[in-house]
């Protein structure tokens, strides 16, 4: 016997994972996390007994519900399911999976399409971030077809514009949780910043690396990864996040000059693997650091659109400033509904729920 759970698999930006309605999952966190681990096939390096894709970017989950807050359409809870460990982290946000939330909410009947384009107002439950997602809905229906291309994804699709409001203090309540824009950890200059994502920024050259190195080369450098993790653990403590050894935040990023004509180059870690592209929340936070004076990523003369070179191309991040503060930041993503149906997990994971044999009777 197996437990049946309605599920939609979606690509959001450069990530992929199952989307669930909150009422289709257990109400208590411990059982919910056990269900998500079973759904993805974790812990296992290949996630062969689930629908995970055996890497961080394809082991993500979105849980959606109608919001009770005025002016907000839906609540979005993100869960990062560890591939090799029995660990589900709901502390960070994911801006790539966020790209799928608007289309999913409309097609699930949580939001009514309004004309050729529908704006879905989203609250990220993990961080409290408020985001407006503009979704193409010609004829009152979501379309995934279009001519928008994003680095890291083959082909083109309908554009989804994400606009983050109040880009400061997603997790800690302040853009610079320590009150400093640049400080030293173990003799290395870092910027501890909490924009759309808590991050630790390090000039790549200070660790003997380049912000244009291949992700595989950075991951193969055990000394570099060990040093980066040591810095990250102390950064988490200083940012008020406590012991972050079992958390994916803060996310480390190596930054430096770009040879591709971008404002800066960056390699974003998740936190133990190097992203093959750029996380939306990471890109927004990097853009904020580029526009704000005194950080290790400051780019003098950066304009209203900050261009960030990453392993798969260049991300453009429009950003609005109010004096020396970031008012908003946005990005363009795409998404696609891949399959919809019923996910099956071992019945013992969620005792008392509807099982496959019961549903057939």
Backbone angles phi and psi of 17, in degrees to 5: 175, 175
Separation of alpha carbons 332 and 102, rounded Å? 13
Convert the pLDDT of each residue in 90-128 to its tens digit. 988 899 999 999 999 999 999 999 999 999 999 999 988
Note whether 64 and 111 are within 8 A (CB).
no
- CA distances, 77 to each of 55, 57, 61, 199, 303 (Å): 20, 16, 8, 20, 33
pLDDT at 256: 98
Measure CA 98 to chain center: 7
Q: Can you say how many angstroms the Cα of residue 32 is from the centroid of all Cα atoms in its chain?
A: 20
d(CA 297, CA 263): 10
The pLDDT of residue 357: 47
Q: Enter the pTM of the model.
A: 0.76
Low-confidence spans in the chain with pLDDT less than 50: 357, 360-361
Please give the Cα distance from 263 to 156 (Å, whole number).
25
- pLDDT at position 137 is 98
Q: Report pLDDT digits (tens) over 14-53.
A: 999 999 999 999 999 999 999 999 999 999 999 999 999 9
Q: Would you state the pLDDT for residue 5?
A: 97
Q: How many Å from the N-terminal Cα to the C-terminal Cα in the chain?
A: 12
pLDDT value at position 165? Answer: 84
Count of helix runs (H) and strand runs (E) in the chain? 6, 17
Cβ atoms 158, 133 nearer than 8 A: no
What is the pLDDT, as a whole number, of residue 22? 98
The DSSP letter of residue 44 is: S
């Amino acid at each position: 016997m197996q437990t049946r759970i309605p599920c939609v698999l979606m690509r959001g930006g450069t990530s992929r994972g199952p989307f669930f309605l909150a009422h289709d999952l257990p109400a208590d966190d411990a059982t919910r996390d056990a269900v998500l681990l079973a759904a993805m096939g974790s812990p296992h390096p290949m996630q062969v007994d689930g629908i995970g894709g055996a890497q961080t970017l394809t082991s993500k989950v979105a849980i959606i519900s109608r919001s009770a807050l005025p002016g907000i359409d839906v609540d979005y809870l993100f869960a990062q399911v560890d591939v090799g460990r029995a660990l589900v982290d709901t502390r960070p946000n994911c801006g790539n999976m966020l790209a799928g939330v608007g289309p999913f909410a409309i097609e699930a009947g949580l939001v009514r399409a309004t004309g050729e384009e529908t704006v879905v107002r989203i609250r990220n439950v993990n961080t409290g971030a408020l985001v407006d997602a503009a979704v193409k809905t010609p004829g009152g229906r979501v379309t995934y077809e279009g001519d928008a291309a994003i680095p890291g994804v083959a082909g083109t699709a309908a554009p989804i514009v994400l606009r983050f409001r109040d880009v400061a203090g997603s997790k800690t309540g302040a853009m610079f949780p320590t009150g400093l824009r640049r400080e030293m950890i173990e003799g290395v200059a870092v910027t501890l910043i909490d924009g759309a994502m808590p991050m630790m920024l390090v000039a790549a050259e200070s660790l003997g690396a380049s912000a244009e190195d291949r992700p595989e080369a950075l991951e193969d450098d055990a000394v570099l990864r060990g040093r980066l993790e040591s810095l990250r653990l102390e950064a988490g403590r200083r940012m008020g996040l406590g012991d972050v050894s079992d958390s994916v935040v803060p996310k480390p990023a190596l930054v430096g000059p770009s040879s591709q004509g971008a404002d800066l180059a960056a390699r974003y870690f998740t936190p133990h693997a190097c992203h093959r592209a750029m996380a939306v929340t990471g890109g927004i936070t990097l853009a904020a650091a580029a526009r704000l004076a005194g950080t290790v990523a400051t780019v003098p003369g950066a304009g209203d659109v900050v261009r960030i070179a990453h392993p798969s191309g260049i991300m453009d991040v429009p950003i609005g400033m109010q004096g020396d503060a970031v008012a908003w930041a946005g990005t363009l993503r795409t998404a696609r509904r891949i399959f919809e149906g019923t996910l099956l997990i071992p019945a013992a994971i969620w005792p008392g729920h509807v099982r496959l044999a019961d549903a057939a009777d």
